[in-house]
Structure 1
């Protein structure tokens, strides 16, 4: 995740860029001490920056939107008001750089200027641009008649009365007075000085003129401090003295993944030739921003490579812990202590028809979702149609649109506008889909991993201009998702019948079941089977494959560490067959890990093949070693487990265990 134009002002702490969306208008209020004769000229030279509202809506709602409850002006205006601009000469206009960039990849119309009479003027060409100083000079395709432009004072005196002119809070152009109090060096290297002033400035003021007592232009209003009424303007001479012919992209940019605290800071230095049309400007700008994000992510991962899970000492404990079977996905993240651990968990659960459900949680900026496919939804439809999956999420009410204080549930996002497939580091196939939210000028991005009972999802909301950056994040983060593959045998049958849904590791595993007769599992590591006399083999058996990360011959792999078969979905772990993998921990790890391994290696309780009664369950475990371990102690052991509700004779339990271990073979060493 990166920031770009914010990087130019990060050193100022709590600053607020003064652009924003609000109501549009065309009035001018006058400050008492400003000569009223100046107002017509100031008004003629000052414009709102607007973007056209979307004319269509791909979303569906539970009921008609109560648009009639909105204020008349907001309801009837065809534009969003996002900032302010002003004229400095014949067909030459200035606004804040970040106001212009609001139109980058926007789902709304391109930025345009609107005058006090409500006339709208499309932008022509971009003539000057500075990302660091946050300004742009441009022309209009068809400028207004006349040459209304503000007079300039490029060397204003301190401590004089000044006037901030702008589209405050989107309510039209207003004028407010204060004092020009000081000059403040920009924080990065002091290359220029910001003007600080006390005239009030509100969202929507960005890009507006700062005037002196005589109504002359002295600066461009850009931002304010969140905790005090001292605002910032760029001296107008910085705009006038800037060379034409180049768009200057110079800014400190930070890049961070939601996996660890490390931040990759770099200095973006790029330029491209001007003048160009607005569309070409956005394309040139975006390509350089995206290339910089690519380079920053590459540098960040290279810097962290020695300690990036599953590498480094901080990974050891997670790699050697007992396999966890979890119905909800988690994200593997590194804490401030350097240890990697699983983060996140189910926060909410919504029931769907047909035994389906949506479970949601979050880690940092990432939504985590587990979607169980309803019984009535065909597997081909569910896995093959991104719209149907997202519609199931929408049924829960998790997408809502606020209108005039009322929240209206979005029932469908429609079809995604972009779809692709991403293979993560472990060659798990994620389906990638992007949906627009036109009213919010935002995108919903979902990485969806097919699993036997449905889908596991990473979800983010992002501005359209950050689509590439968000894709980079989610593509990398997807490799750190811990997920258990679970489903009934009937669901597994559908899943195994479609190789495109399966991770590469699963394609080397053979799972066979013959209802009422036998279940078998064969992988390059272990093979076992059992008859229905051990545990009934039926369509509603619940099979869990506990995939996990571990080292194999010193190389990281993602593979099965636990095979668990419940008698049925309602057994609550009472009746189940389990085969689990354990590996010898390296020296120095927790006593519980080394102690467990010692018990396994020496076949101590509870791994001694003797039945025990615990918490209303009969349980029995045995250890199975590799078939060709030789004289060296094995570093890999498996356990075979059988459990059933109620009390059972020792002989019966041992007989069940023998059925499980009879044909069990460990083929790794």
Structure 2
């Protein structure tokens, strides 16, 4: 009896399951209909571009790629379909004309692989993500698709399009739901379960009759079939003007919660060439980014760089570092820091190095040294030489199939621009294109002892017309520099003259004759001899911001290390009266410097493994009148530091006194 009940239940279950399956089975498109549809639905492709300038360390192994990939001459980027004998409809983001791209040519491709160049854009809307275009040449057989009426939840639909770049395919599913359009809620998007892959964008969502119910615009997360199409009824709302809108375009200040968020809109009459639509929309979006960035700057100018009172307080005691550091305020603009990073030394030879470090606003920073036989001026005049040297130390690869091929050179830059920041520093910006992946490489370099100091960006080309270069230039004022180099490299650096040197170094002079060093800077000159001084001696010049001027460079610390690698050194350092917000230890240091006591008494002081002699140059005490009328006290100190090891047990007081006597302040 028990077995009979189980058997009966199993029959009922099987019958019920088969009934449900029958009621929910999805029908498929007729084969003859698919043949007709294939004359109306096409891939959208753009040619693969290869740089004629790039140099690789070996031949690109295209033969290692699979058959289709190594023979493919185009990137498949989407799908389009004929809506009449002369026009095709696709998703607007397939072209995305408002974003800069190195890929400027578009074609449709049929199943036989023949391509037809896109002509003009006739209708366009970012809101509806629809774009209508015509062709310069047309296929022989064209089968325009017809539009359907509204769908219901549960209706069978097909995602037709170029799935994964493998040509046009048809995949079945059902209408899952209708949801409000995300940005404005102007219509109900179609949510459907038919698979949609990269390349399906712009393809038609078809009903069983092969009619267009919607335009596929996005796909769900990997592993989900819950994709989105804009109902074809929205096509009737397209006009003879290109309609651009982006919501919530944002600019912000790092470290703070200060932002400006606005919507961008733009229109232009159609029809127009793709290049014209791209150029005008990109220029508009670029100008919009500039405008809201300027609005943010104006919004915070009374508390931000360089006017903010707490920023001016920060200037009383500025840090030192090697390379580049970016100013960062806290959330309320009350505490300022210089974001600096340690530099990794990468030897290229016994006499040439590259030093690499992180960067707050760029991909990385680097000190790129020239080879000994190359004049500094020639090195700085050749962005290619600088970048080629950098690539020797920091590998950059191109992926070809499963292999990585190292790039030896990007060639000569597409653009080179020399410009001055508001601190009077001379920058060289160079731009290279990486056509195969639609990226760019930009270097922003300053002259540096023995080479160039650069910020480097490697990013998608799409950001180039989003106020990129103006942001770099405006942000450069908020970058401070620590210069370090050997004496003979400094001599060559100072010989560059006004064409390359920052305003702060104008009039600077440096001569070394054997162990005698003569040097002139803005505030002092040095004439000093030491048997350990040579062309290999190390000189550090750390610059920051002037306290009394709104925007100018000034000395933070000067140091010379006679014997390279030894911590023993001579120092000249300015001090400024602390502000009410200065830290207690700095206030105590200022008090000692002001009264020539403690560490600034001129006496030998033991500091563990070092012995120091620091004293105040009392004749340098002065009161500055800042640009805003504020009075600021300033003085200079001079000092010497020695190891406590036996080889440093000479008469350090006399040695330090000779250094003090060799310094003359202006």
When normalised by structure 2's length, the TM-score is 0.88
Contact map agreement 1:353 1:374 (CA 8 A) in 2: no
Distance change (3 Å), C-alpha of 1:170 and 1:634 = closer
Q: Does 1:239 align with 2:232?
A: no
Following the alignment from structure 1 to structure 2, what is the Cα–Cα distance between the partners of residues 153 and 557?
68
Shift of 1:641: 0.9
Q: For 1:341, which of 322, 337, 361 is the aligned residue?
A: 337
Contact map agreement 1:625 1:634 (CA 8 A) in 2: no
Following the alignment from structure 2 to structure 1, what is the Cα–Cα distance between the partners of residues 69 and 389?
33
Q: For 2:538, which of 525, 538, 542 is the aligned residue?
A: 542
Contact map agreement 1:59 1:413 (CA 8 A) in 2: yes
Distance change (3 Å), C-alpha of 1:259 and 1:458 = farther
The residue aligned with 1:389 is 386
Q: Secondary structure of 1:329's partner?
A: strand
Q: Does 1:588 align with 2:581?
A: yes
Q: Where does the alignment leave 5 or more consecutive residues of structure 2 unmatched?
A: 1-25, 626-630
Contact map agreement 1:320 1:550 (CA 8 A) in 2: no
Shift of 1:391: 0.3
Q: Does 1:422 align with 2:415?
A: no
Matches within 5 A, 1:229-268: 229-244=225-240, 246-256=241-251, 259-261=254-256, 262-268=258-264
Contact map agreement 2:623 2:634 (CA 8 A) in 1: no
Q: Deviations over 1:533-552 (max 9, x none)?
A: 4x644322222111012421
Q: Secondary structure of 2:38's partner?
A: helix
Q: For 2:553, which of 549, 553, 558 is the aligned residue?
A: 558
Q: Deviations over 1:554-600 (max 9, x none)?
A: x24322121111114332x22x1110111112113322222222222
Shift of 1:356: 2.0
Q: Secondary structure of 1:563's partner?
A: strand
Question: Structure 1 stretch 463-472 or stretch 376-385: which is displaced more?
Answer: 463-472
Matches within 5 A, 1:194-593: 194-226=189-221, 228-244=224-240, 246-256=241-251, 259-261=254-256, 262-315=258-311, 318-324=314-320, 326-336=321-331, 338=333, 339-346=335-342, 348-360=344-356, 361-363=358-360, 365-468=362-465, 469-499=467-497, 500-523=499-522, 526-533=523-530, 536-552=532-548, 555-571=550-566, 573-574=567-568, 576-593=569-586
Distance change (3 Å), C-alpha of 1:349 and 1:226 = farther
Q: Where does the alignment leave 5 or more consecutive residues of structure 1 unmatched?
A: 1-30
Q: Deviations over 1:407-453 (max 9, x none)?
A: 11111111101101121221211101111112112111111111123
Following the alignment from structure 1 to structure 2, what is the Cα–Cα distance between the partners of residues 178 and 344?
55
How many residues end up aligned between the 2 structures?
A: 629
Following the alignment from structure 1 to structure 2, what is the Cα–Cα distance between the partners of residues 330 and 605?
31
Q: For 2:122, which of 113, 124, 127 is the aligned residue?
A: 127
Shift of 1:162: 1.6
Question: Structure 1 stretch 282-291 or stretch 514-523: which is displaced more?
Answer: 514-523
Contact map agreement 2:419 2:428 (CA 8 A) in 1: yes
Q: Deviations over 1:330-358 (max 9, x none)?
A: 22223446433222524644211252222
Contact map agreement 1:352 1:374 (CA 8 A) in 2: no
The residue aligned with 2:6 is none
Distance change (3 Å), C-alpha of 1:598 and 1:56 = closer
Following the alignment from structure 1 to structure 2, what is the Cα–Cα distance between the partners of residues 76 and 173?
18
Contact map agreement 1:310 1:319 (CA 8 A) in 2: no
CA RMSD across the alignment: 2.7
Shift of 1:213: 2.8
The residue aligned with 2:633 is 635
Following the alignment from structure 2 to structure 1, what is the Cα–Cα distance between the partners of residues 282 and 63?
38
The residue aligned with 1:15 is none
Distance change (3 Å), C-alpha of 1:41 and 1:313 = farther
Q: Secondary structure of 1:606's partner?
A: helix
Shift of 1:220: 1.0
When normalised by structure 1's length, the TM-score is 0.88
Following the alignment from structure 2 to structure 1, what is the Cα–Cα distance between the partners of residues 492 and 350?
17
The residue aligned with 2:656 is 657
Q: Does 1:603 align with 2:600?
A: no
Following the alignment from structure 1 to structure 2, what is the Cα–Cα distance between the partners of residues 102 and 349?
43
Contact map agreement 1:446 1:459 (CA 8 A) in 2: yes
Q: Deviations over 1:135-192 (max 9, x none)?
A: 2101011121234111101433333222111211112222222222233323443233
Q: Secondary structure of 1:662's partner?
A: helix
Following the alignment from structure 1 to structure 2, what is the Cα–Cα distance between the partners of residues 590 and 397?
40
